[in-house]
Amino acid sequence: MSVIHQSLSTSISSSSSTFLGHNNLKSIKSSNVSIPGRINVVIECVATPSAEITAYKTKVSRNENMGKLQAGYLFPEIARRRTAHMLKYPDAQVISLGIGDTTEPIPEVITSSMAKRSYALSTVEGYSGYGAEQGEKQLRASIAKTYYENLGIEEDDVFVSDGAKSDISRLQVLFGSKVTMAVQDPSYPAYVDSSVILGQTGQFQKDVEKYGNIEYMKCTPENGFFPDLSATRRTDIIFFCSPNNPTGYAASREQLTRLVEFAKENGSIIVYDSAYAMYVSDDSPRSIFEIPGAKEVSMEVSSFSKYAGFTGVRLGWTAIPKELLYSDGFPVAKDFNRIVCTCFNGASNIAQAGGLACVSPEGIKAMHEVVGFYKENTDIIVEAFNSLGFKVYGGKNAPYVWIYFPGQSSWDVFSEILEKTHVVTTPGGGFGPGGEGFIRVSAFGHRENILEACRRFKQLYK
Ligand SMILES: Cc1ncc(COP(=O)(O)O)c(C=O)c1O
């Protein structure tokens, strides 16, 4: 059989570890789960913590910002529901097109470099311990050359990291609790959640499904998935992801030029997330630094996760130009350097060896093949939903397809698809109120699973 048949134990231990310790799995229970802004949904709850609740309490008060967060982080919540579904249907062949994790093997040109570095660590000559917090010089230089040649980004502007998500949180630590921030709505949840944790926001407002003090820049088919900047309040920080997760839309050069002008007029800093830049297949910019003047108002976070299958290896980077200054003229990069030295001890040396192989000519070719494979998957998914008469967005410049279900709750659609096809998707509402009525289908999957999922979608919606 060509479809995935994951064993339950694998699925529990690999994807739900934040929630399910091995000893914690007690019983299957039915419980009422409240999704922000949605009616309560009854789901099969998979576990309850096994530790007996003790009467003893410390004298430490809970960080009140943690209390503001709504439910769990989106993707562990999806994983929990998948696990619950697998417990309910132990024989089902569940296909996960939900959390956007890569599935294809890492090209050997890359793993062989990591293996070599790994073995060298067992030798006196090859051993190395802590490296530079900012990353290895050669890797920083190669990233600058590969992704920013002729854009004025140099080796020492690049900070190598253990992935874009960690850098997003480190950047929030850099900015502190007093800044205001804007996000695309819908957007990758880490921007909003890390902002809440840092204390930049007010409480969650249930009526509008938004946190106070965050500017939600609505991105819908009506505005071509680019925010109406004339109606956007000034904020200190603007998180902007292109190609966008979840809508799959890549902003054009003209739109990004307007964004940079907007930031300049307002004295704002754009944090540009280019984690999917290699998926761009038209002439949309791959980097914000392609836009004239962007270096004075922008920084860029990026990652090897979706290019080389490094979601488990963990390697990314943040590029901060020397031209980016605070209001007092102090360089932002200098402060970020301080944060990196305090909060981070550098990316794994084995991962960095892999990163160097990624940006070698053979590695770049291999990454394009991986990206090309997922792009073919995307075409298959787009074709399936188009043939069913849905309004389908994204897909062209990103491994995500954004499908419109007018008038329906995205969590209801998610549940119906899971229940009737055993395919895990992601409800658009999980990415912000602007995602309501949409479902995100990820193109990360083995080809036979993508084909099988599409066959099931066609069966469900024919
Ligand atoms: C827009 C965006 N940024 C960042 C990340 C996280 O990347 P990393 O694996 O490098 O932490 C993701 C992962 O899905 C993403 O979609």
Choose which residue among 96, 160, 191, 245 to substitute to test ligand 1 binding: the one with the highest number of ligand atoms within 8 A of its C-beta. Answer: 245
- Give tens-digit pLDDT for 144-155: 999 999 999 999
For 95, left (φ over 0), alpha (ψ -120 to 50), or beta?
A: beta
Q: What angle do CA 146, 127, 351 make, to 5 degrees?
A: 35
Instruction: For residue 167, give the ligand 1 atom closest to its CA.
Output: 11
pLDDT of residue 48: 45
* CA distance readout (Å), 253 to 78, 243, 276: 34, 12, 16
- Provide the CATH number for the domain around residue 249: 3.40.640.10
* CA distance readout (Å), 262 to 83, 138, 298, 408: 44, 35, 12, 34
Find the 188 Cα to ligand 1 centroid distance in Å: 8
Instruction: For residue 166, give the ligand 1 atom closest to its CA.
Output: 11
Find the 91 Cα to ligand 1 centroid distance in Å: 32
pLDDT of residue 248: 97
Is position 126 within any domain? yes
Choose which residue among 75, 171, 305, 310 to substitute to test ligand 1 binding: the one with the highest number of ligand atoms within 8 A of its C-beta. Answer: 305
The total number of structural domains in the chain stands at 1
Question: What mean pLDDT value characterizes the chain?
Answer: 90
**Residue 415 CA to chain centroid, in angstroms?**
22
Q: How far apart are CA 461 and CA 176, in angstroms?
A: 47
Is position 348 within any domain? yes
Q: How far apart are CA 64 and CA 177, in angstroms?
A: 13
Question: Is the bond leading into 406 cis (omega within 30 degrees of zero)?
Answer: no
Instruction: Specify burial of residue 32 (Cβ count, 10 A radius: 0-12, 13-18, 19+).
Output: exposed
Find the 30 Cα to ligand 1 centroid distance in Å: 32
Indicate which residue's Cα is closest to atom 10 of ligand 1. Answer: 163
Is position 223 within any domain? yes
Instruction: For residue 100, give the ligand 1 atom closest to its CA.
Output: 14
Find the 187 Cα to ligand 1 centroid distance in Å: 11
Find the 29 Cα to ligand 1 centroid distance in Å: 32
Transcribe 98-160 into DSSP letters. Answer: SS----SPPPHHHHHHHHHHHHHTTSTTT---S--TT--HHHHHHHHHHHHTTTT--GGGEEE
Is position 54 within any domain? no
Indicate which residue's Cα is closest to atom 7 of ligand 1. Answer: 164
Find the 333 Cα to ligand 1 centroid distance in Å: 21
Is position 211 within any domain? yes
Instruction: For residue 304, give the ligand 1 atom closest to its CA.
Output: 10
Q: How far apart are CA 193 and CA 324, in angstroms?
A: 25
Q: How far apart are CA 277 and CA 287, in angstroms?
A: 7
Q: What residue type is 120 in one-letter code?
A: A
Instruction: For residue 165, give the ligand 1 atom closest to its CA.
Output: 11
pLDDT of residue 208: 94
The pTM of this model reads: 0.89
- Give ligand 1 pocket residues (Cβ under 6 A): 100, 163-165, 188, 241, 245, 273, 275, 303, 305, 311, 316
For 135, left (φ over 0), alpha (ψ -120 to 50), or beta?
A: left
- Give tens-digit pLDDT for 322-346: 999 999 999 999 999 999 999 999 9
Q: Which residues of the chain carry a pLDDT beneath 50? A: 1-48
Find the 324 Cα to ligand 1 centroid distance in Å: 23
pLDDT of residue 280: 98
Is position 386 within any domain? no
Instruction: Specify burial of residue 453 (Cβ count, 10 A radius: 0-12, 13-18, 19+).
Output: buried
Find the 273 Cα to ligand 1 centroid distance in Å: 8
pLDDT of residue 219: 98
Find the 126 Cα to ligand 1 centroid distance in Å: 32
Q: How far apart are CA 417 and CA 98, in angstroms?
A: 11
Is position 212 within any domain? yes
Indicate which residue's Cα is closest to atom 3 of ligand 1. Answer: 275
Is position 166 within any domain? yes
pLDDT of residue 75: 82
pLDDT of residue 21: 30
| Range(s) of the domain holding residue 349 | 109-362
Find the 413 Cα to ligand 1 centroid distance in Å: 25
pLDDT of residue 52: 60
